[in-house]
Structure 1
Amino acid sequence: MLKPETIPGVAAAENGVVTLDGADGLAIAMTPEAAAETGRRLIAAAALAATQATDELPLD
């Protein structure tokens, strides 16, 4: 299982494209529409994850 990242990614907009840079070289470019939907899905998943038990996640 992957270790969950604790540092948020950095989003930016340039020339009509949304970019997301994260840990370990993560880099993605999206259309504004794809970025907006991804954002909604991330917020929904984060809300659900916050209600779940965290003792199952390996933190080291």
Structure 2
Amino acid sequence: MDKNLDLQALLGEKQIMLDSLVNGVILLGAATLALGEKERREINPLVDNWIEEVRYLVDRG
């Protein structure tokens, strides 16, 4: 099998995973806007953790 095609497939899968993570962070952030102040304080650490995870994965490339 062509190594270039294998690499392209792998990069495509990584991009899909990163896109999904970013979309998840965006949706989670948007959902927090609909919450009350108390609930927002409780969920913000989760959002921060997701953001850090996405940054880490993006930096790893």
- TM-score range for the pair, normalised by the shorter chain length: 0.3 to 0.5
Normalising to structure 1: TM-score of the pair?
0.38
User: Larger Cα Rg: Structure 1 or Structure 2?
Assistant: 2
Structure of higher RCO (CA pairs closer than 8 Å, 6+ residues apart): 2
Give 1 or 2: higher strand fraction: 1
Normalising to structure 2: TM-score of the pair?
0.38
Give 1 or 2: higher helix fraction: 2
